[in-house]
Amino acid sequence: MSDIRVVTRNTTTGVLTIGIPRPPEYVSGIELLVQIVVIELLGSPGRDIFDPNDGGNIRSLVGSNIGFDDEGEVFAEVRMMISATEENIIRKQRTSQRPASERLAKLELVDIVPDEENAQLEIILRVVAQDQQDTEAIVGLQ
C-alpha cells in the first residue's frame, strides 16, 4: 500500500523533516512506517477531537524547562514520549489492512544528540516493522 511522501530525509544530515517533495513521490514499506512514526511523534495531544490522546508531543521539549545538561532527565522525557507514540500506533493499526512492512512492532530510542552549532536536538530512533525490517530515523527539534 503506498501513500504520498510527506516526510523527507536530508541527504547530508539524515534528519527527517515534514514537507512534500517536488514533484510529489509515493512511499511504501518501512519508509511509510517511518513516516507514520514521525508524524505521530511530532503531533500534539488534543489536536484531534476524535482521538485526543493522539500525538507523541515531542515538540513540547522545545522551550521547556528541562535541563539539557542533565542527560538522564532528557532521556526519561523522550522515552516516555516514544513509548506513548509506540502504544498509539500499535493501537491504531490493530484494525489496519496494511502489510507487515508498514505495521509497527517496536520503537526504540537509540540516542539523543545535541547539535549546539545549529541549536538543534537530534533524536535517533530504531523503527522495527512486524516483518522484522528495521531502520534508523533521526528526528530533529529546533
CATH of the domain at 44: 3.10.450.40
What is the separation of C-alpha 100 from the centre of its chain, rounded to a whole number of angstroms? 18
What is residue 28's predicted lDDT score, i.e. its pLDDT? 95
In this predicted structure, what is the pLDDT of residue 106? 97
- Residue 107 neighbours by CB distance under 10 Å: 22
Bridge partners, 138 (sequence order):
15, 124
> Quick one: pLDDT at residue 58?
75
Q: Residue 32 in contact with residue 16, Cβ under 8 Å?
A: no
The whole-number pLDDT of residue 140 equals 86
- pLDDT attached to residue 127: 98
- Model confidence pLDDT, tens digit, residues 54-66: 777 777 666 665 6
Q: Residue 128: which domain range?
A: 3-141
Provide the whole-model pTM: 0.86
Cβ 56 vs Cβ 42: under 8 Å: yes
Question: C-alpha cell of 28?
Answer: 511504501
Q: What is the pLDDT of residue 66?
A: 60
C-alpha distance across the termini of the chain, in Å: 32
The answer to whether 105 touches 87, Cβ cutoff 8 Å, is no
Query: Is the CB of residue 29 less than 8 Å from the CB of residue 3?
Result: no
pLDDT value of position 26: 94
How many domains is the chain built from? 1
Long-range pairs, 36-39, Cβ under 8 A, ≥24: 36/89, 36/102, 36/104, 37/85, 37/89, 37/104, 37/107, 37/125, 37/127, 37/137, 38/7, 38/137, 38/139, 39/6, 39/7
* Regions of the chain where pLDDT drops below 50: none
